[in-house]
Amino acid sequence: MGTAVRTPRAALLLPVLGPLALLGAACTTAHPGTDTARPARQVDVAPLIRMTPAAGGTADPAIPLTVTVVRGRLTDVTVTDAAGRQVAGGLSADQRSWHSTSPLGAGTRYTVRISADDGHGGRGDTTTVLTTGVGTQLLTAVLGPSQAVDGGSGVYGVGEPVTAQLSRPVHDPAGRAAVEHGLKVTSQPAVSGAWHWVDDSTLHFRPEHYWPAHARVQVAFDAQGRRIGKDLYGGPTSRVAFSTGDQVEALVDAATDWMTFRRNGKVVRTLPVTTGKPGFETRNGIKVVLGQEAEVRMDGETVGIAADSADSYDLEVQWATRLTWSGEYVHAAPWSVASQGHENVSHGCTGMSTENAHWFYQQVRMGDVLRVINSHGHPMEPFGNGFGDWNVSWKDWLAGSATGVVVSTGAPGAALPDGVRIRATGALAPLL
């Protein structure tokens, strides 16, 4: 924001737009011993003002803006872009100079309004324009989830994380912090959440616990013109919005071979299942539904099983709900109905009867959560094989943020009180 410094004898001047325009005086000076006031003498202060970078050319956005006066003092400096956003700045103690304290954006046109006192009882305003050059590289972000689900309704399960895929890698911690400051998540109702860097060009955002049911979420990458790193500036703004449906949770117990299906906290149905047999154990942990296919071909060779092996298979499978990119599904397995509810005979998927798999398929959507317990398999990967985000403790999730700040989604970028961050624990998201 602009910095205004006034003496007891002066009130704020009202600027007149236009390059190097002079202001009609609005200040008054009282004469000693009288009750009358007279307007301050108007002067052209433009010749007294020096600005670096200079107006007229194309400025380097990496160079802070400095305004000085060769005589007298500055009384107000305001720098705004076309959207009305102000550049923060500070006035020196002697009021002879002002400098910006927040970065200038790349490829941005700024209006600079300056009020000054000439030191001889005269006052005036001047307005000029500063244009910054475009960075050699622009950083953009593709935000997820896509809205192209449920016929374009944009409704997801409560486990769906927000994703940001950057167009260029960002390695520097300060640059990463600048990216996080440009990413805004708001929701109704509000939640406490944080960003986590998956790698140099990928971030995920999740609440400490699952999203509330029937929440509305809006996400934006709004860092246009902001300096991210050397010759790297924020590019065009991107946005996405989505909603959540009911809170759907499925718990698969590999020891009992039963699934417990809950909707909004209430048990709706229990189903007999079979999970991975020895050597092909199903992954333990929380998984998020990635997609659904009414029919899919499953071939053992695609997961490294030789065609001449006793474990080989090549099947057309119905009602398949995908949980990992490597091929773990909940699907119809009519060939194993006798084992369902009794023993684990699959190659890692959760098998059901055709009727039960069809029912499950109709009950879930992308973003719904399923947790497997008591399997002897490896734990679900946090990243890279689907959305295993919920298997990361909240403490470790925060450690993956460049700012380490817990964000309230009730207002754009609003940080919670400092105590919230240091009270974060290592507890997992709610158990299913």
pLDDT by residue (tens digit) across 409-427?
995 444 443 433 333 322 2
Pairing state of beta strands 258-263 and 3-4?
Answer: unpaired
pLDDT at residue 37 greater than cutoff 80: no
Is pLDDT of 64 > 50?
yes
Instruction: Report if residue 223 sits inside a domain.
Output: yes
430 is a domain residue: no
In a domain, 418, yes or no: yes
Q: What torsion do the CA atoms of 172, 173, 179, 182 make, to the nearest 10 degrees?
A: -140
pTM of the model: 0.71
Average pLDDT over residues 157-178: 96
What 3-state DSSP class applies to 249?
strand
- Give the residue numbers marked as catalytic: 331, 349
User: Domain of 55: which CATH number?
Assistant: 2.60.40.3780
Domain presence at residue 166: yes
342 shares a domain with 364: yes
Q: Are residues 144 and 192 in the same domain?
A: yes
Considering only 85-94, 102-111, 188-197, which range has the smallest mean pLDDT? 102-111
Question: 322 to each of 76, 246, 303, 374, how far by Cα in Å?
Answer: 61, 19, 15, 21
- Same-domain pairing of 268 and 330: yes
98 and 160 belong to one structural domain: no
Q: Is residue 432 part of a domain?
A: no
> Which of 88, 104, 132 is where one domain is finished?
132
pLDDT of residue 20: 34
Per the structure, the complete domain to which residue 102 belongs is given by 3-132
- Please tell me whether residues 308 and 384 are part of one structural domain: yes
Asked if pLDDT for residue 249 goes beyond 90, the answer is yes
Do residues 406 and 292 share a domain? Answer: no
Determine, yes or no, domain membership for 431. no
- Give the CATH number for residue 191: 2.60.40.3710
Within a domain: 230: yes
Q: Are residues 272 and 367 in the same domain?
A: yes
Same domain, 284 and 358: yes
Beta bridge partners of 50: 68
Question: Are 218 and 168 contained in the same domain?
Answer: yes
The total of structural domains in the chain comes to 3
Phi and psi at 306, nearest 5°, equal: -65, 145
| pLDDT value, residue 6 | 42
Q: Residue 428 domain-assigned?
A: no
